[in-house]
Structure 1
């Protein structure tokens, strides 16, 4: 509890202390109305427990609520058996705090837990009036008021605050998503600027050395310091971008999503629920180091192509995935995904390929009304590659991507 209190902001700590300092004396004054010292002390304790439940941290909240409700009900039951009871107040401060606890419960807890806790606290709030001496029409009127007006108002207030929190969370998430998209477009430019400086300075050092010019220790130290500074700036830019792009609520992946070894699993899972699929992964690709961004892009191309084949390849009997070096340009990878699915007419009666929204690409770039190949095209072009998608001459659909094995040479 103390650690949770210390974790709050200074303004929250001051507010809690002020509210506690203002309500605790009122709880003590109401407790003095009890004819017995023990009952007065118990009244102060139940009021303090209700106040504690109202400001309890999230992880202890439901336990504190149950303890406060149980203690309040137990004191009410005990007082109904006593020959003397308070004449004027059953504990109105405690009642108000319990109603606020209901509001917080509805606002913060999950539906089933909120229903259970609200029912327990509502029962304690309704029974609270049984502590007073006079059992007359006024007592029943107060109980009816709590049941009909006070408790429903507390629930409605909690629902309204819950709705506001939900809308605010969605609004914040929309803003974060737009920021992620913006940073995703700028990430390449930011990092490429610093990495290009590193490459340029390294090439200058190598050129000077190849020319036979001896460099002084001061010049060499200055050049290495510039390279170190550019590398630190690139690392800082990547960390800043990743901290924004990463979803804090999602668990971190234990392996890169674009690991080429994962293509076998991806194709096998596709073949279980879709048409038979084969993978031809050239050893010349797997035996050499592949940059992470290239491996991730290869995986994304295959994944998106298989997804489109499952959605649109009507009557396909086979899907073939090939990942191999380009025969004429060894430093580039060819990724080809083909199927023999039939063409189908669209809603306007014209004949289109099963690619549907992700229609054929032109000019070496996937374009069309859909976002799958469009976004994939932007990703491929971001590392200096090209992608195209369209109908095969013999029928079916073909996605072809040409990616560089060394991304540094493409920027």
Structure 2
């Protein structure tokens, strides 16, 4: 949540703080209508909890909604028993927040969870007007309006937003699929055509040389010119594709060669929606240049490991990411990602599908496990990438519980092959 807040612009952060301060001020002003200090404090607390539930991150959402609904209902029931109650407002900011919580619940959560949380928030919102001092016909009309009109409206609004999100996601996926097909056709029709011509002409030259036929300088020059022309056409086709993919008005995100700074952003983003992740980069690594292909591979190892931890590490409370020189081989780099979670059923099937029981395995075993689980081919591609620069990767269960991914990469790729 903090990382997401920091990622916004200064204007957005200032606006968020201003709106939050204004809502809290309204909650306090409404609370001051209560005749007792204890009730004033309780009203401020329940109002703040309702606002917190409305803006809480997804991983804490159901806890915040449950706490807000329970506290609101408890305060309402207590106020119905006291001799004096607020004369002006029962807490309209809290009421609006609870109704909007219903909309967010229906929009973002699975049906069973949405029904339970929505029912709790709706119950708190319907009985909230009973905190007012005068119970007359207008009060009962307000309660009826909330129960019959406001709550169903927020539910319908949540369903409409949920449908819009689903439709938009499908449209985006359709557009991406169409783009992938178009790029595949471009590669096949133009780039592959020119590369094939280069290969064919090169084979012809080698065949002529192997046959022992001496070629005149004119023939060699003509053949090399044809190869040069095909290569230039292939480059032109690639530039055309790049110009379509890249918006010249938006500068491309660049990273200096050997920069591992992206790992910090990666772990911070992971911590927003997953268990807290800590990153430790040894100063001996951060102070020296790292080849670009090694830096990219380190990023891929950490990214894939964090993705698997989010998917499969049930009950994980912490993930540790470490990048340091190998203690025994100084020209090697160690990348370690460890979590303390239990394995989900999917990961359990993976273990049964081909991973050895010793706790660690090479990426080939992991690849078989991934396929046996019916999941993606993340470890397969990752293992190929790591081996492509002369490294190795292992992954498996730790003796004390949890999962450990360990990669050893060369710091100098020129001497590793």
After TM superposition, the score normalised by the length of structure 2 is 0.47
Larger Rg: 1 or 2?
1
